[in-house]
Amino acid sequence: MKYGGKQYSFNGQLINHFNPQDKRTFSQRYWVDDQFYNPTSSSPIILYICGEGTCRGTPSEGSFPYQIAQKAGALLVALEHRYYGLSQPLGLESMKTENLIYLTVEQALEDLAYFMQWFKVNYKYRISESQPWITAGGSYPGALSAWFRIKYPHLTVGAWASSAVVNAIVDYSQYDYQNYLSVSKFGASCPKTIQSLNEYFEDQLYKTTPDVQKQFKARFGEKALKLTHQELLFYIADSFVSQIQYGKSSELCQFLANYTNFDALVNATIKFCTDVNSVDMYGSYFVSNSTFDADMEDKIGRQWNYQICSQLGWFQTAATNPAYALRSSKVDIEFYKEFCKNSFGKALWPNVDQFNNDFGGANFIATNVVNTNGCEDPWQWATRNTTSGSITSIYINCNGCAHCVDFHGAKSDDPVALQQAHSKIQSLVLGFFGKSSSENIII
């Protein structure tokens, strides 16, 4: 997805929203796109929530949020998540384990509310209290969008929550099972090939001499030598699923089918892994590095792993039935516990029961929320997939329809299911704004 907007800085964001005696602030980046905006008392604002990575700006041409903003005459605003990109609460000291205590969902939600109140008064158009806002986000930001609607129903008129992982789960084996289902659509040989490769990689790491093991790891690059055996298997698994998660199951399966010679397949797979993925997020050696500088801006391994280790979970383990597993069973819950401990120098583990009790999990209660899921998205098992009241869940069933597929810009050659989903989303979002959706979707 492309991004745009003009970048600004909100220099008064609170570091700790939950201690009224703590007046410390930091600079949080935000972006504004006002090209469709005509300031009136009823002009809408879409607050696009950036998540676990450097914010690139507001969604721009070629994205569906951009098309919705054009349709609604809305102001598009994007806010960078604390601790990511250059929005660092404690500057160069932000990444130290003791300073990550302010990296929580609750603090991030307060950031959004505090920013909105400041923006209304300080942005050049002086946003009135009567102007309707919605939040929009995909994946973890999709969950933030839904959670914001739960906690601050008076600040927005609705929420767009794409692939929103609202249900915190510790042992998330369903992720692996869904990946199996997704690639199986393109032939039984595809998952079997991945399983054969995993077996070979396990044998190289656990059934050979230390010298052979070292040589094998080195094939993934010098940094891979810093990974434990389990961490390397974690990295390999994620290299495959990074394709599946984003609707490229067909391309992945075709790539694997191109090789009839197993040695050639292994060589091609190792190159594939190093081309599409970096080991930095998968080795506790790298994640434990608390140094922050400009070169670290795009590295999110430490921050995101802190969030999942301390609060959110979603530890991806092999499918319960080995016949459906696309990742090594050696990457289990005990591995993740050790990984979290080694990464942050102390035992960290999420209390997901408490978290879901606070936010509602997959059964959260709110009004005016549109949830979306693609049929090939492995995260769908951590989302809400039922419709109730004014919470509408849309399931997009088509080949290649995976994570946050509804954020892709509407095109005339989209699968019918995606066209129908876009039409429904447009109707709902414009309805939140009190506008009619009688016209066709902008393409």
Query: Catalytic amino acids?
Result: 139, 377, 403
Q: What would the DSSP string read from start to end of 263-313?
A: HHHHHHHHHHHHHH--GGGT-HHHHT-----GGGTT--HHHHHHHIIIIIE
The burial of 319, by beta-carbon neighbours within 10 Å (0-12 exposed, 13-18 middle, 19 or more buried), is given as buried
* Alpha-carbon gap, residue 42 to 283, rounded angstroms: 50
* Alpha-carbon gap, residue 405 to 246, rounded angstroms: 8
Distances (CA, A) of 106 to 109, 113, 355: 5, 11, 10
Which strand (E) or helix (H) includes residue 424?
A: helix 416-432
pLDDT along the chain (443 residues), means of 10: 93 98 98 95 96 96 96 97 96 95 98 98 92 98 98 98 98 98 96 98 98 98 97 97 95 96 98 94 95 68 96 98 97 98 97 98 97 98 96 97 97 97 97 78 54
Work out the number of other CB atoms within 10 angstroms of the CB of residue 309: 23
Q: Which CATH number fits domain 3-167+360-432: 3.40.50.1820, 3.10.20.30, 3.50.50.60, 1.10.10.10?
A: 3.40.50.1820
pLDDT at 300: 83
Domain with CATH 3.40.50.1820 in the chain: 3-167+360-432
* Alpha-carbon gap, residue 176 to 160, rounded angstroms: 26
CA 11 to chain centre: 26
pLDDT at 195: 98
- Tokens 């922050």, located at residue: 292
Token output for 301: 């391994």
Taking the CA atoms of 215, 218, 222 and 225 in sequence, report the sign of the dihedral they define: negative
Nearest to 41 by CA among 117, 129, 122: 129
* Alpha-carbon gap, residue 168 to 313, rounded angstroms: 6
* Alpha-carbon gap, residue 175 to 165, rounded angstroms: 12
The burial of 415, by beta-carbon neighbours within 10 Å (0-12 exposed, 13-18 middle, 19 or more buried), is given as middle
Q: What would the DSSP string read from start to end of 192-216?
A: HHHHHHHHHHHHHHHSS-HHHHHHH
pLDDT at 42: 92
Work out the number of other CB atoms within 10 angstroms of the CB of residue 6: 11
**Long-range contacts for 154-157 (Cβ within 8 Å, ≥24 apart)?**
155/113, 155/116, 156/47, 156/132, 157/132, 157/133, 157/368, 157/432, 157/433, 157/434
pLDDT at 292: 81
* Alpha-carbon gap, residue 82 to 102, rounded angstroms: 9
Token output for 75: 């102001």
* Alpha-carbon gap, residue 157 to 148, rounded angstroms: 11
Which phi and psi (to 5°) does residue 369 adopt?
Answer: -125, 130
